[in-house]
Amino acid sequence: MVEKPQNIAKNTTLLTSAYIFQKIFAFVYFTLIARWLGASNIGVYTFAVSFTTILAIFIDFGLANVLIREAAKYKERANKYLNNIISIKLIFSVITYLAAVLIINFLNKGELTLTMVYLAGIAMVLDSFTLCFWAIFRAYQNLKYEAISIVINQVLILIVGLAGILLKFPLYILILALITGSAFSFLYSLILLKVKLHFKFKIEFDKQILKLLLIIAVPFALAGIFTRVYGYIDQVLLSIMVGDKYLGWYAIGYKITYAFQFLPAAFAAAIYPAMSHAFEYNKERLKIIFEKALFLLIISSIPVATGIALLADKIILHLYTVQFEPSILALQIMIFGIIPIFLNYPVGSLLNACNKQTINTINWAIIMVINVILNLILIPMYQHVGASIAALSTLFLLFLMNLLWVPKIIKYDYKYLGLKLLKTIISVAIMSLFVLYLKNQLNYIIVIAIGAIIYIAAMYLMRGFTKDDIKYLIQAVFKKTPYEKELIDNE
């Protein structure tokens, strides 16, 4: 059931599209439930999800990534690998779930929070096994079923969650909605493995295989721990240190900021194969790809971040109502995290494509520690605003730490990027003047449209971007890379 090379790009596009759909629907869903439930309730929900998301890495322990790699190399052993991983994960699941129960009770949270965490733990376990089932399909280079699952999963969550809220069910209906989506994905992937790949499931503990897989998994596990703790520890600490209401206010800025993440992620997925190929065969092309990618994300991230910061009050009060007014300042700070989030994608892709992924992992570890320290200092002083400052600071620091390694791989043109950055800043300044003048006179959506037009016009007049830049963007995203063409020609 291995996909032909010419179908791999289509499947990748399909999976990327599914993730974009998921991000958009998840953002709409969160906006609606936050608007209806209020800051404290949305804080309880966010805490339960964040808490179990951190612990989930101790069930998977990086084994899903190992399974993709090893099953792709030795397909005849894929079923045996999966059975051993499932078996060891059963033990990991029990230990992790019990740890979640013990920790949450030690934290002395309320009865509702305890129930939410107990239920979220079920979704955590289901998702961990589903991750391994889809890993097999990825090893076989077939991504379309996973894409379908992602879409249906999100639709089920939205339907069950919104119906539960409208029918005034208890708050834990939101976690039951997650379990519904997780249960579907679990059963769907399990059935497909049996029907499409004819896998047979049984408990296996082959000491030699498990020792090999667990040793290989250690770097993946460490990377997972660093990124999970970094990504969610601020939300857990906010709930513990100052309360769920402040977490609810913080979650708004966090969700809006990360709602845009699918844009650089999709772009990075498109250029990564080209970077990998260029690193092996054409270093000059690698330099050009990196410069163009960084440039395109500079000119897209800075105006978006600035525009949202200027209109934060209008956006918050319209989408989330006056109960989330304290979220405005946190959003104005946090939204500038879009810039390092966007820019770190091509930098991270370059490091990974050039076999420097260890650097990425080390930097994540350093940033995780700094982030925890900053949150412990700033949350007691400034609550959710302090968490936003910590998040923004560490995002920029991570980008700069990764960027320092780029000159050791390629000699990129500082002047070219510096000039583009200067023109972007000038254009954004011009856009900002119009936005500030119009924000109290027109609907903020109209102001966003006008601001975008003014920014694009200013950039074009200053030759901040050209037709060649637009042509490159289209080619990078929609046309086959040389690596993909080579695969198809060899077929």
289 and 174 in one domain?
A: no
Domain count, the chain: 2
Using the 3D structure, point to which of 196, 228, 260 is the last residue of a domain: 228
158 and 130 in one domain?
A: yes
Residues 6 or more apart from 489 whose CB is under 8 A from it? none
pTM for this entry: 0.85
Residue range(s) defining the domain that contains residue 246? 242-486
Please state, in angstroms and rounded to a whole number, the distance separating the CA atoms of residues 435 and 454: 10
pLDDT at position 313, please? 93
- SS3 for the chain is CCCCHHHHHHHHHHHHHHHHHHHHHHHHHHHHHHHHHCHHHHHHHHHHHHHHHHHHHHHHCCHHHHHHHHHHHCHHHHHHHHHHHHHHHHHHHHHHHHHHHHHHHHCCCCHHHHHHHHHHHHHHHHHHHHHHHHHHHHHCCCCHHHHHHHHHHHHHHHHHHHHHHHCCCCCCHHHHHHHHHHHHHHHHHHHHHHHHCCCCCCCCCCHHHHHHHHHHHHHHHHHHHHHHHHHHHHHHHHHHHCCHHHHHHHHHHHHHHHCCCHHHHHHHHHHHHHHHHHHHHCHHHHHHHHHHHHHHHHHHHHHHHHHHHHCHHHHHHHHCCHHHCCHHHHHHHHHHHHHHHHHHHHHHHHHHHCCCHHHHHHHHHHHHHHHHHHHHHHHHHHHHHHHHHHHHHHHHHHHHHHHCCHHHCCCCCHHHHHHHHHHHHHHHHHHHHHHHHHCCCCCHHHHHHHHHHHHHHHHHHCCCCCHHHHHHHHHHHHCCCHHHHHHHHHC
Burial class (CB in 10 A: 0-12, 13-18, 19+), 43: buried
220 and 248 in one domain?
A: no
Is residue 333 within 8 A of residue 253, CB to CB? The reply is yes
* C-alpha distances out from residue 337 to 255, 268, 307, 440, Å: 12, 18, 13, 26
330 and 183 in one domain?
A: no
96 and 61 in one domain?
A: yes
437 and 289 in one domain?
A: yes
Using the 3D structure, point to which of 228, 260, 292 is the last residue of a domain: 228
pLDDT at position 473, please? 55
Residue 398 lies in a domain: yes
Residue 314 lies in a domain: yes
70 and 21 in one domain?
A: yes
Residue 234 lies in a domain: no
Residue 299 lies in a domain: yes
Q: Quick one: tokens of 277?
A: 């190929």
Residue 237 lies in a domain: no
Residue with tokens 């376990």, as numbered in its chain: 125
291 and 145 in one domain?
A: no
Residue 491 lies in a domain: no
167 and 282 in one domain?
A: no
Nearest Cα neighbor of 360 from 399, 317, 394, 304 is 399
Residue-by-residue pLDDT tens, the chain, 491 positions: 444 444 555 666 777 788 888 888 899 999 999 999 999 999 999 999 999 999 999 999 989 888 888 888 788 888 999 999 999 999 999 999 999 999 999 998 889 999 999 999 999 999 999 999 998 888 887 888 988 999 999 999 999 999 999 999 999 999 999 999 999 999 999 999 999 888 988 898 989 989 989 998 888 889 889 989 999 999 999 999 999 999 999 999 999 998 888 778 777 766 766 776 677 777 777 788 888 888 888 988 999 999 999 999 999 999 998 999 999 999 999 999 999 999 988 888 788 777 777 888 889 999 999 999 999 999 999 999 999 999 999 999 999 999 998 888 888 778 888 888 899 999 999 999 999 999 999 999 999 999 999 999 999 888 777 777 666 655 644 454 443 444 334 33
Using the 3D structure, point to which of 195, 228, 261 is the last residue of a domain: 228
313 and 402 in one domain?
A: yes
Residue 3 lies in a domain: yes
254 and 213 in one domain?
A: no
Residue 429 lies in a domain: yes
216 and 162 in one domain?
A: yes
pLDDT at position 24, please? 87
